[in-house]
Amino acid sequence: MAFNSEKTELGGKKFDTLYPINELDSYNGEELKKYASNSINEVDAFIVNFSKVSYLNSSGLRELIQILKMMKENEKAFFLTNVNSEIMKIFTSTNLNKLFNIYSSNEEAMRYLV
């Protein structure tokens, strides 16, 4: 598996935090999307924590956008956290920082929803 996951509950809301490992590309992104699709009814929000991600490409971005779309269609929240400065440059240069809810920590993202 190209990521780890951790389930948390705060204020009656259920969160599933996904930790991609090293790269977020088409392979890892597809795994995240399948996991989210299979688990969407069990949570109020998904958090993708970038603390272990050192590489993001356009295929990874595409998968994140597809997950975001799926979450919105199901009236669920989707957050990105711990995005390092190099990867944040990708989000800002593509204006995707305006599309995604990006927070500095998981706790900050959870407080937004609670």
Domain count, the chain: 1
Three-state DSSP state, 15: strand
Q: Which domain holds residue 57?
A: 3-108
For residue 95, what is the domain's CATH number?
A: 3.30.750.24
Q: Is residue 54 part of a domain?
A: yes
Q: Is residue 114 part of a domain?
A: no
Q: Is residue 23 part of a domain?
A: yes
Question: Residue-wise pLDDT tens for the chain (114 aa)?
Answer: 589 999 999 999 999 999 999 999 999 999 999 999 999 999 999 999 999 999 999 999 999 999 999 999 999 999 999 999 999 999 999 999 999 999 999 999 999 998
Q: Is residue 95 part of a domain?
A: yes
Q: Is residue 113 part of a domain?
A: no
Q: Is residue 21 part of a domain?
A: yes
- Confidence (pTM): 0.96
